[in-house]
Amino acid sequence: MSVAKKFLYVNRKAPYGTIYALESLEVVLIGAAFDQNVSLAFLDDGVFQLAKGQDTKGLGVKNFSPTFRALGDYGVTKLYVEKESLAERGLTEDDLMPVTYEDENDGFAEKPSLIFVDRAELARVMRDQDVVLSF
Amino acid sequence: MKLSILVNEGPYTHQASDTAYQFTKAALEKGVEIFRVFFYNDGVNNGTRLTVPPQDDRNIQKNWSELGEKYKLDLVVCIAAAQRRGILDEGEAKRHGKGEGAANIAPGFRISGLGQLIEAGIEAERLVVFGD
């Protein structure tokens, strides 16, 4: 393992109807230990994974959304969110939970992890990766 | 060229594992090196020896096992995903008290952690994902 690779995890599914979102997050957490250059992308129904105020009590399913807010502690600080996917679902940036990280190169200043990009920009982000894992 | 393969869907329900198998076989026949085939999500169901498909249909699990044996493939089933779905090797069956004979991992497969998937991405020139 010489040079770190760029890993992108692409999240395309809503959080609780299928297991994809949870098992994607499990790979991200394990992968964080490998010191690679990791980012996440949320598009299609995947944007619902970041929705504010998730409450799964009635479902009997574990609410794993708080884990996204802990990603900064794992060195995962780039979460790309596709603007068109939000708009197509009647969502705005304000409907998403705040996700931040402490920038160790800037006096541990708290900075936003969510990066809102349009479809064309996200395509460029994807093209720039070494490894793309799609869930 | 050195590839790794990720299979994220179960056999028969979804074409992903068939396509992954055909792709892997074709790549190997062309002399491409396959660093690892990793099974995740419902893809772990490719690795149970207990599947009994109708005789006039393909046996996807057996296809993988035979391909694995022929080319000495590293067929790895994710442990966390496997435990959720009842895929166990001898060690895991014993550890979880599932009794004698509960192990159902298919020949040529092994159960290991998600780190093996990350390593597969790092070590190969391309990681090819087959899923929904």
CATH number at residue B108: 3.40.1260.10
pLDDT for residue B46 = 98
Quote the CA–CA distance of B12 and B60 in Å, as a whole number.
8
Question: Would the pLDDT of B52 be above 90?
Answer: yes
CA distance A131 to chain B (A): 6
| Contact at CB, B115 and A30, closer than 8 angstroms | yes
Quote the CA–CA distance of A82 and A94 in Å, as a whole number.
14
Task: Encode A63-102: b = buried (16+ Cβ within 10 Å), e = exposed.
Answer: ebbeebeebbebebbbbbbbbebbeeeebeeeebeebebe
- Domains of chain A from N-terminus onward: 6-134 (3.40.1260.10)
Give chain A's mean pLDDT. Answer: 96
- Using an 8 Å CB-CB cutoff, list residues of chain B that contact chain A: 6, 8, 40-41, 80-81, 84, 113-115, 117-119, 121-122, 127, 129, 131-132
pLDDT for residue A2 = 62
Per the structure, the complete domain to which residue B17 belongs is given by 2-130
| Contact at CB, B114 and A20, closer than 8 angstroms | no
pLDDT for residue B100 = 86
Identity of the residue in A26, A130, A135 whose CB atom sits nearest the CB atom of B80: A26
Question: Would the pLDDT of A1 be above 90?
Answer: no
| Contact at CB, A30 and B113, closer than 8 angstroms | yes
Mean pLDDT of the A8-24 span: 97
Question: Strand B75-78 vs strand B109-112: parallel, antiparallel, or unpaired?
Answer: parallel
Residues of chain B neighbouring A33 (CB-CB closer than 8 A): 115
- Using an 8 Å CB-CB cutoff, list residues of chain A that contact chain B: 1, 5, 7, 19-20, 23, 26-27, 30-31, 33-34, 36, 130-135
Contact B56, B66 (CB under 8 A): no
Closest CA to B62 of B120, B125, B11, B113: B11
Question: Would the pLDDT of B18 be above 90?
Answer: yes
Mean pLDDT of the B47-55 span: 96
Residues of chain A neighbouring B84 (CB-CB closer than 8 A): 19
Q: How confident is the model at residue B121 (pLDDT cuts 50, 70, 90)?
A: very high
Residues of chain A neighbouring B117 (CB-CB closer than 8 A): 27, 30-31
Quote the CA–CA distance of A78 and A90 in Å, as a whole number.
23
Q: By percentage, how much of chain A surpasses pLDDT 70?
A: 99
Contact B128, B19 (CB under 8 A): no
Mean pLDDT of the A99-116 span: 96
CA distance A63 to chain B (A): 17
When scoring A20, A26, A27, A76 by the number of chain B Cβ atoms within 10 A, the one with the most, hence best to mutate, is: A27
- Active-site residues of B: which are they? 78
Total structural domains in chain B? Answer: 1
